[in-house]
Amino acid sequence: MRSGGEVRALAGERSHSRAGKTGGFVGGGRAATILLGGLAKADRLPERVIVSDPDEAVLARLKARHPSLETVSDNALAAQQDLVFLAVHRR
C-alpha cells in the first residue's frame, strides 16, 4: 500500500512551497519580464528573486512592476540562486 505522499506524487501533484527558495534572472529584458509576470500572476514567484542586467533603466522598470525584486548589475549574484533563468540574447 502506498502512502498519501506517494499517491499524490504519482498522480502528478507537486508541492508548490516557495519557502527558502530563490530565483535568479541573468538578463532583465522582454523574456525576464514575461516570465516574472507569469510567475507573479500565478503566485509562484520564489521567496527571493534577483535580476541582473547592465542597463539600470531595465532594472528600474522591473523593480517598478515587481517591488520585491532585488536588482543588480553583477550576473554572478543572480546565477548563484536555486533556480536560474538565462534571459539574454544569443550572439
Q: Check pLDDT > 60 for residue 10.
A: no
Note whether 36 and 43 are within 8 A (CB): no
The answer to whether the beta carbons of residues 90 and 28 sit under 8 Å apart is: no
Overall pTM surpassing 0.75 (yes/no) = yes
Hey, where are the domains in the chain? 20-86
Q: How far is CA 41 from the centre of its chain?
A: 13
The Cβ of residue 24 has, within 10 Å, a number of other Cβ atoms equal to 24
Q: Say which DSSP state 82 is in.
A: S
Question: pLDDT tens across 30-49, in order?
Answer: 999 999 999 999 999 999 99
Confidence of residue 89 (pLDDT cuts 50, 70, 90): confident
Dump pLDDT digits (tens) for 73-88: 999 999 999 999 999 9
